[in-house]
């Protein structure tokens, strides 16, 4: 029997911008029903990893796949299987929160039912009085909650998150973490790029450290404590200092 490949996978992936090799032999896999956090300093290659999975940049060598589809050659096929939440969300200020959700879901063929959208907004921590307000008056945190709800309503095999809790208060972050765990429980492969080590330790099954375009440490959650956060923090601090030097 042929084993099904993980929904998110790179093998010895290299991506270059001009003469600069941003990803240098990156090998990473995220199985279905799991959360992997990708940490690293500025310039480590985190954003380029997401761009490669979305088909925005092509591999110089190696392999990248989303549900066994190469996003570099068939990006539309790959993106149909991805929900992506960028750090800076582009929403329509002249539309209400519900109208934004309905429009974005219509573009992707997702569920546009108001009841489902309302449930997602409530789960994301967006108060009901904001559902029918135009986004022009929303804070960054409120916009992020709308985007989180839309991403989770997609119900696709892959969820990519880029600094997803940026701009969220502690209560909203807790709501977000609960949503990610619910998505994981339904079998989605989640890759989260973040600088928030404590947040990653709360919900991740694995934490990977990226340096100079490759994974240098891959730590799996173990036991009741899941991660030795103190040791991970020391490791992350050393990596960040090395990149800043």
The residue among 183 and 243 whose pLDDT is bigger is 183
pLDDT at 243 over 70: no
pLDDT at 5 over 70: yes
User: Is 99 exposed, middle or buried, given 0-12, 13-18 or 19+ CB atoms closer than 10 A?
Assistant: middle
User: Is 241 exposed, middle or buried, given 0-12, 13-18 or 19+ CB atoms closer than 10 A?
Assistant: exposed
Residue pLDDT, tens place only, 80-114: 999 998 887 788 999 999 999 999 888 877 767 89
Residues 219, 69: Cα–Cα separation, whole Å: 27
- Model pLDDT, residue 125: 83
Please name the residues in contact with 134: beta carbons below 8 A apart, sequence gap of 6 or more: 93, 94, 95, 96
Distance set, CA 90 to CA 55, 65, 87, 146, 154 (Å): 19, 26, 10, 11, 17
Mean pLDDT for the stretch of residues 37-55: 93
Strands (E), 111-188: 158-162
User: Token pair for residue 35?
Assistant: 């959360």
- Model pLDDT, residue 31: 96
Please name the residues in contact with 118: beta carbons below 8 A apart, sequence gap of 6 or more: 98, 128, 131
């Amino acid at each position: 029997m042929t084993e099904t490949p993980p929904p998110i996978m790179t093998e010895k992936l290299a991506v270059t911008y001009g003469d600069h090799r941003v990803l240098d032999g990156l090998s990473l896999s995220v199985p279905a029903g799991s959360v992997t956090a990708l940490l690293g300093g500025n310039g480590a290659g985190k954003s380029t990893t997401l761009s490669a999975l979305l088909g925005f940049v092509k591999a110089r060598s190696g392999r990248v796949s989303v549900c066994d589809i190469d996003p570099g050659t068939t990006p539309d096929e790959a993106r149909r299987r991805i929900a992506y939440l960028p750090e800076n969300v582009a929403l329509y200020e002249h539309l209400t929160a519900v109208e934004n959700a309905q429009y974005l879901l219509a573009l992707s063929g997702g569920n546009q039912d108001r009841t489902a959208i309302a449930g997602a907004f409530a789960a994301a921590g967006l108060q009901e009085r904001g559902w029918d307000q135009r986004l022009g008056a929303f804070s960054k945190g409120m916009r992020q909650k709308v985007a989180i709800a839309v991403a989770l309503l997609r119900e696709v095999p892959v969820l990519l998150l880029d600094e997803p809790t940026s701009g969220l208060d502690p209560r909203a972050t807790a709501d977000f973490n609960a949503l990610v765990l619910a998505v994981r429980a339904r079998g989605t492969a989640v890759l989260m790029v973040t600088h928030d080590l404590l947040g990653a330790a709360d919900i991740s099954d694995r934490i990977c450290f990226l340096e100079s375009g490759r994974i240098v440490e891959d730590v799996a959650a173990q036991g009741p404590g899941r991660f030795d956060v103190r040791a991970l923090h020391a490791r992350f601090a050393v990596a960040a200092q090395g990149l800043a030097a």
